Amino acid sequence: MRSPFNRLGLSRLSKVDHIGLILAAPETAPIRQPDPIFESLEQILRQRASQPRRSTNKEVAERVMARFRDAIAREDAREATRKAEREERLHYLRTAPLDELLAAARRKRDFLDIARARGLPDAWAHHRMLDLLTAKQRRIRGA
C-alpha cells in the first residue's frame, strides 16, 4: 500500500521517516522549517471539522426511499378514499328512490351512472336525458 504522503507528491524520504527519527533520537533530529503542504492540510482538516458532516450515499438513499415510501402511502390513502366514496355513491344510486335520483340528475353522466348502478341498459339513460331536455324546452316555450 502506498503511503498517503506519496499520494500528496512528497518524496519517499517523507515526514514519516522524519517523525521516526525524532521518536528514535529526539536530540539528533534536524531542525526543519514547517512544511507548507502540511500547514495547508491542517487548514483543510480544520475547515472540514468546522463544516457540518456530509451525508453518506447510504443515508441519502435512505432519505430518498423514505420520501418514495411516504408518497406511495399518501397515494394509497387517496386511492382508498376515492374507492370508498365511489362505493358509497354506487350504494346510494342503487338504494335511493328513483324519482329522487332523476330529479337530482343534471348531466348525461348522472343518468348513465344511475342506469349502470341499477343494472338498466344505457338506452334507458338516454331516454331519461331526452325526457329532461324536452321538459326544459316545454318550460322555456311555455314561460
**Cβ(106)–Cβ(113) under 8 Å?**
no
Q: What is the pLDDT along the chain (143 residues), one digit of tens a residue?
A: 445 444 444 444 445 555 554 454 445 545 555 566 666 777 777 777 777 777 788 888 888 999 999 999 999 999 999 999 999 999 998 888 888 888 888 888 888 888 889 888 989 888 888 888 888 888 888 76
Closest CA to 113 of 125, 123, 103: 125
Rg (the chain; Cα; Å): 41
* CA end-to-end span of the chain: 100
Q: What pTM, to 2 d.p., does this model score? A: 0.47
Instruction: Give the DSSP letter of residue 118.
Output: T
